[in-house]
């Protein structure tokens, strides 16, 4: 009979994990609404003001003496965020295989790549502000800036929260909190990958089209 109770415990564990994940999915549902509205506001502006959007897209940046399209910096940043998602799932893979050290190592890479993303976004904002794309003021660049900075900065805030969460996961991993059940890593992964998906959309809609 104790074996039966053990099996019931296994069932309970599965339900427990699914409940945690569903909770995160519900939170992400609210995030979908927020980002859809912000991106839609940008799209409406972009459709009505193609000239100003093209002007900003065609601007160039100076990297080590080379004049490169401004999309270069953001494309690099997109690559960093995609890589951070990959390092996270590799960490989850290590956790599922019972490697505490491997998990902490891969999540550390995720946190570092998240920080690099934020640093690059800070640099990008500096360049744009220098060119007159501001969040307040009047004129076409300010009109663009308002619609541009809001979704990208709120996304950046999500990355910052994700980095802090990653550090928490590393700490918990080193303490062995995921040795028996790595669902905590998976729930963090849901959040981080969602932030990545949002960036995939923002990158295309705001920077490429």
Of 89-148, binders to other proteins (CB under 8 A) are: 89-90, 93, 140, 143
In the range 152-191, which residues lie near other proteins by CB under 8 A?
180-181, 186, 189-190
Window contacting other proteins (CB under 8 A); options: 34-42, 115-123, 125-133, 161-169: 34-42
With both helix axes pointing from N to C terminus, report the angle between 2-48 and 183-202 in degrees, rounded to the nearest 10.
Answer: 10
Window contacting other proteins (CB under 8 A); options: 26-34, 111-119, 126-134, 168-176: 26-34
Between 26 and 64, name the residue whose CB sits nearer to other proteins: 26
Closest CA to 202 of 110, 83, 112, 78: 78
| Residues with Cβ within 8 Å of residue 206, at least 6 apart in sequence | 39, 42, 46, 148, 151, 152
Window contacting other proteins (CB under 8 A); options: 115-123, 127-135, 156-164, 194-202: 194-202
* Residue 199: CB minimum distance to other proteins, A: 10
Could you say whether residue 63 binds other proteins (CB under 8 A)?
no
Closest CA to 19 of 158, 93, 193, 11: 11
Among 60, 69, 101, 137, binds other proteins (CB under 8 A): 69
Write down how long the chain is: 209
Other C-beta atoms lying within 10 Å of the C-beta of residue 52: 17
Other C-beta atoms lying within 10 Å of the C-beta of residue 175: 10
Among 20, 75, 161, 177, binds other proteins (CB under 8 A): 75
């Amino acid at each position: 009979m104790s074996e039966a109770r053990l099996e019931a415990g296994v069932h309970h564990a599965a339900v427990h994990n699914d409940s945690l994940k569903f909770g995160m999915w519900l939170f992400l549902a609210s995030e979908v609404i927020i980002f859809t509205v912000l991106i839609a506001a940008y799209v409406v502006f972009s459709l009505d003001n193609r000239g100003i959007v093209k002007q900003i897209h065609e601007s160039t940046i100076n990297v080590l003496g080379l004049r490169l399209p401004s999309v270069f910096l953001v494309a690099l940043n997109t690559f960093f965020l995609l890589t951070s998602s990959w390092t996270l799932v590799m960490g989850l893979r290590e956790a599922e295989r019972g490697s505490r050290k491997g998990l902490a190592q891969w999540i550390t890479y995720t946190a570092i790549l998240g920080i690099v993303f934020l640093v690059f976004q800070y640099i990008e904002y500096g360049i744009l502000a220098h060119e007159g794309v501001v969040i307040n003021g009047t004129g076409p660049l300010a009109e663009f800036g308002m619609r541009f900075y809001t979704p990208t900065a709120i996304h950046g805030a999500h990355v910052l929260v994700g980095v802090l969460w990653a550090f928490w996961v590393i700490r918990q991993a080193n303490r062995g909190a995921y040795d028996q059940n790595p669902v905590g890593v998976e729930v963090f992964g849901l959040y981080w990958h969602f932030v990545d998906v949002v960036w995939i959309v923002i990158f295309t809609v705001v920077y490429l089209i």
